[in-house]
Copies of this chain bind each other. A is one copy, B any other.
């Protein structure tokens, strides 16, 4: 065994991955899930509710993301049928797909490293 010290102790490996600009965070696992739920529900408020997050927080996150790219990731409409709604733009969907892949590879990396701990 390589690691006598940590074996038998209930340790788990965890981590986070995110894309940031000089000032703000751009995209992490939380924002990714929010985008996915917006895509699923067609609404920021429903997405927020599904995540147990306040509408304001969700809106702030969307606003932050949209402000950091040339083409918004989420387009919104206030008023209209059903009161309004939100949807991912093509660019938004691209970003979701890209980061979902990155996240999957990261998960794989962590599992690999966790195995190494107990090897």
Whether, in the assembled complex, A3 has its beta carbon less than 8 Å from a beta carbon of chain B, the answer is yes
The distance in angstroms between the C-alpha atoms of A91 and B18, with both chains bound, is: 32
Q: Do B9 and A13 have beta carbons less than 8 Å apart?
A: no
Whether, in the assembled complex, A86 has its beta carbon less than 8 Å from a beta carbon of chain B, the answer is no
* Residue in contact with A113 in the complex, picked from B2, B5, B20, B105, CB distance below 8 Å: B105
Q: Residue of B at shortest CB range from A109?
A: B109
Contacts of A17 in B (CB 8 A): 13-15, 110, 113
Q: Do A20 and B16 have beta carbons less than 8 Å apart?
A: no
| Min CB gap A105→B, angstroms | 7
Binding stretch for chain B, among A33-41, A47-55, A94-102: A94-102
The size of the chain A interface, using a CB distance under 8 A, is: 35
Q: Residue of B at shortest CB range from A19?
A: B11
Contacts of A69 in B (CB 8 A): 5-6, 9
| Min CB gap A3→B, angstroms | 6
Q: Do A26 and B11 have beta carbons less than 8 Å apart?
A: yes
Chain A interface residues toward B at CB < 8 A: 2-3, 5-6, 9-22, 26, 68-71, 91, 94-95, 98, 102, 105-106, 109-110, 113, 116-117
